[in-house]
Structure 1
Amino acid sequence: MPQPWDARLADPDGFHLDLIHRWMQSPHVAAFWRQAWPRDRWELELRDHLAGNDIRPVLVALEGRPVIYLEVYRAARDRVAKCYHARPHDIGLHIAVGELAMTDRGLVRTLLPVLTRALFDADPQCTRVILEPDVRNTRAIKSFQAGGFQLADEILLPDKVAALMVCPR
């Protein structure tokens, strides 16, 4: 991604693991991710993601400072595919702004157009990127809309009622 952004795979050892673990314990993240797990479970989660082909855990930095954890996944191979007509190359995103002090600063709405452009460039067959935030997370939904995503539907996932949001190519 172009400066001032930088994205790299999350490393399940050391600093990245500690940062993601801490962020997932934060009330503003834990309320919607529901993954305030122990550090060793996060280590296993990251290792599993990196060993497979379906999910990529990513740390996004702004001007060198990590600010966002995201998971990039193939929607057609995810539980969300049971809730909408997933195309084989649809890409899904889970996004968390780690530090509460960094929320409401326009990070997500600024990042999303850059990120979706990079994802479309990386996979020319991808025609849409999706998000599925909890419908109660109105802050995230507004940020996603400001970043170019449209509300397509409400879907029922095992752990939440989600707003299916779509950004077409």
Structure 2
Amino acid sequence: MSEFDLRPAEPTDAPRIALWMAQPHVHRWWQQSWSVERWAQEIEQQTAGEHSTPYVVAMDSEDFAYVELYRVRHDRLAQYYAYDDQDWGVHVAIGDATWVGRGLGRRLLSAVADTVLRAEPACSRVVAEPDAENTPSVRAFAAAGFVQHGELQLPEKTAVLMVRTRTAQEV
């Protein structure tokens, strides 16, 4: 995936992911500051199911981010907008704070969306639902080609529905 190495997360990644999720810049938005054991279970459950797949992202052989790709039709997000059966969703957390503020978020989001759209010909949209108060995240999605499609009132937050649509060049 161009400059990034995206690999499926494994239970052995749980210590690193748990550490990232406990970082203040991640915990504020994810609220998943769980134990290593809980993260290992989460990764096993996601890997075994059809709903989502967890990934660890590296650049220059250094792990720095956590990504979840999910099928919207299997997610609670499907209750909040007129989804298409082939829509994919993405969650991204740059866990290592030393990597934040360097423009990596937008580049990573763009690369992930491009990869999903290339790999899934029936998919015409990749979506995300960052917290409306998470201005850096919303800006990163916009810089990656995602367009705001209004706000969604989810149980734990007001989210901005961000949508990256397949372009004519990608058809």
TM-score (ref. length: structure 1)? 0.95
The CA deviation string for residues 96-116 of structure 1, in whole angstroms up to 9 with x for no partner, is 000112111000111222221
TM-superposed CA distance for 1:131, in Å, is: 0.7
Find the aligned partners of 1:158 and 1:48 in 2 and give their Cα distance.
Answer: 23
Name segments (4+ residues, structure 1) moved above 6 Å: none
Partner AA of 2:84 in structure 1: R
- State the match for 1:150 in structure 2: 147
- State the match for 2:75 in structure 1: 78
TM-superposed CA distance for 1:93, in Å, is: 0.4
- State the match for 2:106 in structure 1: 109
Question: 1:114-153 alignment to 2 at 5 Å?
Answer: 114-153=111-150
TM-superposed CA distance for 1:76, in Å, is: 1.5
Find the aligned partners of 1:109 and 1:27 in 2 and give their Cα distance.
Answer: 20
- State the match for 1:12 in structure 2: 11
The CA deviation string for residues 20-60 of structure 1, in whole angstroms up to 9 with x for no partner, is 01000001100000001111111111110001011000011
The CA deviation string for residues 55-108 of structure 1, in whole angstroms up to 9 with x for no partner, is 000011111111110100001110111000110110000110001121110001
TM-superposed CA distance for 1:159, in Å, is: 1.3
Question: 1:29-40 alignment to 2 at 5 Å?
Answer: 29-40=26-37
1:55 alignment partner, one of 49, 52, 55: 52
The answer for unaligned runs of 5 or more in structure 1 is none
Find the aligned partners of 1:26 and 1:111 in 2 and give their Cα distance.
Answer: 20
1:96 alignment partner, one of 88, 93, 96: 93
TM-score (ref. length: structure 2)? 0.94
CA RMSD of aligned residues (A): 0.9
Q: Structure 1 stretch 89-98 or stretch 109-118: which is displaced more?
A: 109-118
Find the aligned partners of 1:34 and 1:115 in 2 and give their Cα distance.
Answer: 23
Identity rate, percent: 39
Partner AA of 2:123 in structure 1: C
Find the aligned partners of 1:58 and 1:155 in 2 and give their Cα distance.
Answer: 26
SS in 1 for 2:58: strand
SS in 2 for 1:61: strand
